Structure 1
Amino acid sequence: MKKKILLLAAMVVASSTTIDAQRKFPFFWKKKKAKTEQTTPAKKESEYDKLFKKKHEIAKGLITLHLLDGKVYFELPVDLINKDMLIGSTVTSISDNGNAVVGSKPTDLLHVVFTRNKTHVQLRQVNTDYITGNTQIDEALRKSTLGAILSNQKIQAYNNDSTAIVFDMSSVFLGDNKKMSPFDRNSIYGMYNRTENYQSDCSYISQIKAFKDNVSIKSCLSYTFSVSNSQGASLIKDRPFTAEMTRSIMLLKEKPYRPRMADYRIGVFFTGREQLGEGAKTTAPVYYANRWDIQPSDTAAYLRGEKVKPTKQIVFYIDNTFPEKWKPYLREGVTQWNELFEQIGFKDVVAAKDFPTDDPEFDPDNIKYSCVRYAPSSIENAMGPSWVDPRSGEILNASVYLYHNVI
């Protein structure tokens, strides 16, 4: 017991001595450094994040579109490189329908592919003028029909998982692009000599939309134009003109459907090609019939001779700006075609519907909708152009314009 008391007393003395020594000689005693916290180094900001740091409009779909500071950037998935696509232009609104009418498609479809090298992305127009079934000729043809470059844009960034390329496409949709012009040669002024001057300072990109199978860019384009007659007399001089254009980009099927050759005895529109033969055979013109891809929903019943519905109906949307008294006859004019489809074993192939007011995706100017449009114009006519897959003649979209004076 005495030993324990002595030991405890010694510890107290030692402790008090230590504390006293710290007070008298503080420089001999160093505090143990606090353990420093482990900090994670800040992640380096990517070029993608730098580019899109500012808040802006984004549309996600087949291609992700960014509308930033008046420019439209494409975020193109890498797996869409070298895929066949179509670009179509539709007039959305206009300041003078002597140059075109709302809903019209003044220029032909552009068959395009995107390609890339280390620094740039190219938009190329595909040349499908020739066809052949010979492997050696195919190789020669490939070298002779290199896609013409319509646009060559610098790669601005890759997205953060490197699955898509980002580049500026503003110049394609915001410029005097003759291949996507708003001026219709079938318009009133198109019958005369017309010259146009693009006004870049009065033009801008107004909207972007994206869907799973296509995207669209709406541009407000301004010009001045002049018109003269065949004798050179001036009819219009430097008149201001503005058109809002919707340009749609659609991905084509991986494998086009089998074409059907057109017969000159049957009045259909066609897609012309040149066939390269072998040996002594010369090139020969080939005409694909432009037609809808109508497939039976029940093949067995169809082969038994029963009338069946198609797997996909053809729908024409009727413009809601038509005079109300015209609409019943427009619907009848569209659906009468079912009488002819019934003769080849199909029923309810064609339908007429009003412009939907409860579908946020519906856009009559989008490439995937077929519409009957009203044109408040003095032209005494109607037109029915269509857009087709240039590889096969398959009709993808059809439009009908009824000018007011068709009555």
Structure 2
Amino acid sequence: MRLAPLALALVLFAGCAGTRPAAAPPASQAANGRGGAAKTGGPKPYAEVVTDEAVTDAGLFTVHRVGEKLLFEVPDSLMGRDLLSVVRIAQVPADLGGFIPAGAKRAEGVLRWERVGDRVLLRTQSYAAVADEALPIAQSVRVNNFEPVVAAFPVAAVAPDGAGVVVDVTDLYGKDTPALSGLTVAQRTRFKVRRLDEARSFVDGAKSFPENVNVRYTTTYDAAAPPSNAGTGTVSLQMFHSFVLLPREPMTARLADDRVGYFTVRQIDYGRDDQKAAEREYVRRWRLVPRDTAAYLRGELVEPVEPIVYTLDPATPERWRPYFCQGVEDWNRSFEVAGFQNAIRCEMPPAPGDSAAFDPEDVRYSIVRYVASETRNATGPSVSDPRSGEIIESDIIWYHNHIRSYRNRLMIETGAANPAARSLQIDEALIGETMRQVIAHEIGHALGLPHNMIASSAFPVDSLRSPTFTSEFGVAPTIMDYTRQNYVAQPGDGVTRFVRQIGPYDDYAINWAYRWYPDVATPDDETATLDALVAARAGDPVYRFSTGRGGYNPDAQTEDMGDDPVAASGYAVENLKRMVPNLVAWTSTPGEGYDDLAEIYGETLGMWRRYMGHVVTVVGGVRETPKASDQAGVVFEPVGRQEQERALAFLDANVFETPTWLLDPEILRRIRPTGAVDGLRRAQVAVLNGLLDPMRLGRLVEAEAVDGGRGGAAPYPLAAFMDDLRADVWAELDARRPAIDVYRRNLQRGYVERLVALLTEDGPDLPAGLRHLGVDVSQSDVRAAARGALRRVREGAEAGAGRTRDAATRDHLLDVAARVDAAFDAGGRGGAVGG
């Protein structure tokens, strides 16, 4: 999946800095009219607009505060220049959203100042469609991509030197300007926003730096259902808007390759000779140029002209600062593969009272932010030049409560084999190491790398039980996979490293995107060289890339480990079985209740479901290996029948056969009065519903139709799968067992309910990019197979009800038969049962 790029560093302090008194216009300007009496309705004299009370800050362009007014003095040299515009939320109300912290980006784009007579326009500029200006088609690109005007301002005054203008931008920030709003349309609807209250909306402050100008402003809305403080009927946010000067000459872009994962910027280049509207996709990366190009080309490690530097948020607790900085600088190993030494650096925050040279509002600083929030997450946002993909600045966001996620997961996933994880107060070295690796993961995003969910399948499952292997390689060949802790290692294996780390794929990807090549004038000049780097690794699973989008590839799943989902999940279950009986002891704190026990037990159920989900994906699975058209072999290869049958057998043994070990009375009777049986039912039925997902069943149909007569592994026919699944869920009927227990009755009702749904639903409503994965149930064999399975269940239920002497079993089976009859009778869809 592509993650959306996030915003510049969050502002930590309000107000203006670097003030100076406003200068009066020279007398010569008054004489020639530039600073003198203005024409009626036109610009006024400079001194009447920028008065003596003005508080002024100079930088990229000059900002003036005159009472409540905010004035921009924009030089002519910036007219028509590309400015990156980033809108963020500086301060958020409580409960606005779990993933909307202070610093969250609301908009990113390019703006230009344009002067038209005595007006100044602020207009958007898009690079989604381009053409070389020397080509005739460039004219058509312009007129067919007319950009909107965000705002228009009368020229309030001309600059004293005549080379700029002053405009009053107060209303841009004090009124409801859609391009600068902090609330989305959906949020306005949810909070029942009536209007923006201009009386309670205002500019807080503005700062100007050499490469950027920042404005902080408060917006207040009348709302009938605000997210917090309901009695006020109000939503207030403090917003932050940045203008960032983009380079006059963009960095030379690097063309993306689907076989190497990078966030990208996309353009339609109408100036190319392709016999179509050619889409060009460029990787997002920082600009790194060697200081000594001759030494670099000789193969020596060379420092870059401008390294990537992150500064820690002053709010970061001191005990975690070394781990955070290690997570940043761990990436130097990968940059060394690309020929750069000390390419990325972490700096501690300035000491209190010693911050004159540091201001987090300055775009020249990238920040690792520490957010006081109950959200359990971390993110690695950045902003980039849409012309070239050059990353301009980045924030890493660590939410304080994310440490809770790793405390819990270390216990759940590694506690059986790792004594250091058997406590609510995990040793600082272990929890600090996990935080270090989270920061490294988020830095990877900020370097341009998306999640690589296929990487973990490169390691054999048994290798994850090896102390020597895991000490060297961790748990996956990349930090960018969601492979967090080693849940495969068993007690007695001797494994000591349980958490992820930067690996060989990361070295390869950084080398591919960041290696500097001489004499490159256009992206096409280096494509052959870059393609050779990929070709050299072709066939080695360590260097594969896939986001796992679509959910059909068993090799590319979130939170999985190793090359065999069945074996890995089997080891995971063995560890959970060891861990669950110890949860009471491991989570107990004298004098406190069982809240932590309840939380971690609930998360244990969630992890069990995830492990089972990894196996579900094998059924109807399709493996994907991205290839260029000059590489041999196919891209998509359905999983063979034997492997799918093994997966279904595992699910029968671990899900359909009731996992009563999860229902530990010592836990349940400490945390809840009831709900355990229904909770297990939901977990089991979720797995069953996953197996009976229409898209999965559609893939079984297609594999049999398309691949049944060609080489490779034999397909698993839909009819055979449905028979096998029915036999697993209804084993009591086939074995003529006298009674069916409550857990199995719940599972069987879930089975019937899911098949009944397949008689009416037409398949999921997928996003445009995934619609090719869907299936029209009403026009496929899926509905017929569901109807046939229900008929056979109905026949078996009626026969079983006549045999059993167990009242609960008989009532259950008669109820099942009635449910099937009702489904068939609804609208005459089914006709006579068994006909």
TM-score range, shorter chain: 0.7 to 0.9
Which residue among 276, 279, 283 is the counterpart of 1:285?
A: 279
Selected match of 1:377 from 373, 376, 395: 373
1:376, distance to aligned residue in structure 2 (A): 2.0
In the alignment, which residue of structure 2 is the partner of 1:165? 165
Residue number in structure 1 paired with 2:349: 355
The residue that corresponds to 1:395 in the other structure is 391
1:151 aligns with 2:151: yes
Distance 1:278 1:59, change over 3 A: closer
- Counterparts of 2:172 and 2:362 in 1: how far apart (Å)? 18
In the aligned structure 2, how far is the partner of 1:319 from the partner of 1:214?
A: 20
Give a deviation string over 1:58-106, Cα, whole Å, max 9, x none.
Answer: 111221111112111111111211111112223333343634322x232
**Which stretch has the larger CA shift, 193-202 or 119-128?**
193-202
Assess, with a 3 A threshold, how the Cα gap between structure 1 residues 195 and 401 changes in structure 2: closer, same or farther: farther
Specify the alignment match of 2:81 in structure 1: 83
> CA distance change for structure 1 residues 60 and 278 in 2, over 3 Å: closer, same or farther?
closer
Question: Residue 116 of structure 1 aligns to which amino acid in structure 2?
Answer: R
Please give the secondary structure, in 1, of the residue aligned with 2:320.
helix
* Structure 1: distance between partners of 2:153 and 2:366: 32
| SS of match in other structure, 1:307 | coil
Equivalent of 1:322 in 316, 337, 343: 316
> Hey, what's the Cα distance between the residues in 2 that align with 1:306 and 1:226?
64
User: Is 1:94 aligned to residue 88 of structure 2?
Assistant: no
Q: Is the 8 A contact 2:109 2:126 kept in 1?
A: no
Q: Distance in 1 between matches of 2:309 and 2:95?
A: 27
CA distance in 1, matches of 2:222, 2:362: 27
Residues 1:365 and 1:79: Cα distance change in structure 2 (over 3 Å): closer
**C-alpha separation in 2, matches of 1:332 and 1:182:** 34
Q: Which position in structure 2 is the counterpart of 1:178?
A: 178
Deviations along 1:320-353, whole A, 9 cap, x unmatched? Answer: 2123322221111111111110111111111111
Query: Partner amino acid for 1:333?
Result: G
**C-alpha distance in 1, partners of 2:256/2:166?**
42
| 1:21 corresponds to | none
Secondary structure of 1:109's counterpart equals strand
Cα deviation digits, residues 344-371 of structure 1 (max 9, x gap):
1111111111233534353324433211
Q: Note closer, same or farther for the CA distance 1:225–1:96 as it changes in structure 2 (3 Å cut).
A: farther
Shift in alpha-carbon separation, 1:227–1:264, aligned structure 2, 3 A? farther
CA distance in 1 between partners of 2:245 and 2:166 (Å): 18
Partner amino acid for 1:96?
Answer: A
Alignment of 1:243-322 (within 5 A): 243-276=237-270, 281-322=275-316
- What SS is found at the alignment partner of 1:135? coil
Gaps of 5+ in 2: 1-26, 37-44, 404-835
Give the match for residue 117 of structure 2: 118
Equivalents in 2 of 1:284, 1:361: separation in Å? Answer: 46
- Verify the 8 A CA contact 1:227 1:237 in the aligned structure 2: no
Aligned match for 2:208, one of 198, 203, 210? 210
Q: Report the Cα offset of residue 151 of structure 1.
A: 0.6
- Please say if residues 130 and 271 of structure 2, whose CA atoms lie closer than 8 Å, have aligned partners that are also in contact: no
2:366 is the counterpart of 1:367: no
Deviation readout 1:351-403 (Å, 9 max, x if unpaired): 11123353435332443321111222222211111100011100001111112
**What SS does the aligned partner of 1:320 have?**
coil
Instruction: Give 1:131's aligned amino acid.
Output: V
For these two proteins, the number of residue pairs brought into alignment is: 358
More strand as a share of residues: 1
TM-score, length basis structure 2: 0.40
* Aligned partner of residue 394 in structure 2, secondary structure: strand
Distance 1:266 1:280 in 2: 24
Give the whole-Å Cα distance in 1 for the aligned partners of 2:274 and 2:395.
43
Change (3 A) 1:203 1:218: same
User: For the Cα contact (< 8 Å) 1:274–1:286, is it kept in 2?
Assistant: yes
Map 1:10-25 → 2, pairs under 5 A? none
What's the counterpart of residue 198 of structure 1? 196
**Higher mean C-alpha displacement, 164-173 vs 321-330:** 321-330
State the match for 1:22 in structure 2.
Answer: none
Note the alpha carbon deviations across 1:258-280, whole angstroms, 9 max, x for none. 11111122221111222326677
In structure 2, the partner of 1:341 is 335
Distance change >3 Å, CA 93–CA 116, structure 1 → 2: same
Residue matched to 1:140 = 140
Q: Which residue of 1 aligns with 2:105?
A: 106
AA aligned opposite 1:335: E
Kept in 1: contact 2:211–2:363 (CA 8 A): no
Shift of 1:247: 1.8
**2:255–2:282 contact (8 Å) kept in structure 1:** yes
Q: Secondary structure at the match of 2:105?
A: coil
**C-alpha distance in 1, partners of 2:146/2:232?**
39
Indicate how the Cα distance of structure 1 residues 123 and 281 shifts in structure 2: closer, same or farther if over 3 A, else same: same
1:317/1:181 Cα in 2 relative to 1: closer, same or farther (>3 Å)? farther
TM-score (normalised: structure 1): 0.80
CA radius of gyration, larger in? 1
Shift of 1:244: 2.5
- Mark the CA change 1:388 to 1:194 in structure 2 (over 3 Å): closer, same or farther: farther
What is residue 59 of structure 2 aligned with on the other side?
A: 61
Structure 1 residues 370 and 282: CA distance shift in structure 2, 3 A: same
Q: Read off the aligned partner of 1:130 and give its amino acid letter.
A: A
More displaced stretch, 274-283 vs 313-322: 274-283
1:30 match? none
Q: Give the 3 Å change call, closer, same or farther, for CA 307–95 of structure 1 in structure 2.
A: same
In 2: Cα distance, 1:166 partner to 1:376 partner: 39
Which has more helix, going by share of residues?
A: 2
C-alpha contact (below 8 Å) 1:225/1:237 kept by paired residues: no
Give the secondary-structure state (helix, strand or coil) at the position aligned to 1:201.
helix
The one-letter code matched in structure 2 to 1:106 is K
CA distance in 1 between counterparts of 2:167 and 2:302 reads 47
1:404 paired residue among 400, 403, 419: 400
Please name the residue that 1:129 is paired with. Answer: 128
Look up the equivalent residue of 2:150 and give its one-letter code.
Answer: L
CA distance in 1, matches of 2:266, 2:200: 39
Distance (Å, rounded) in 2 between the aligned partners of 1:77 and 1:118: 15
CA distance in 1, matches of 2:229, 2:66: 41
| Identity between Structure 1 and Structure 2 (%) | 29
Asked if structure 2 preserves the Cα contact closer than 8 Å seen for 1:271 and 1:289, the reply is: yes
2:374 is aligned with what amino acid?
Answer: S
Amino acid at match of 1:221: T
- Change in CA separation of 1:288 and 1:162 when aligned onto 2, cut-off 3 Å: same
CA contact (8 A) 2:51 2:66 kept: no
Q: CA deviation at 1:256?
A: 0.3
Structure with bigger RCO (C-alpha 8 Å, 6+ apart): 1
Q: CA RMSD in A?
A: 2.9
* Contact kept in structure 2, 1:227 and 1:235, CA below 8 Å: no
Structure 1: which 5+ runs fail to align? 1-39
* AA in 2 matched with 1:121: V
Deviation, 1:178, is 3.1
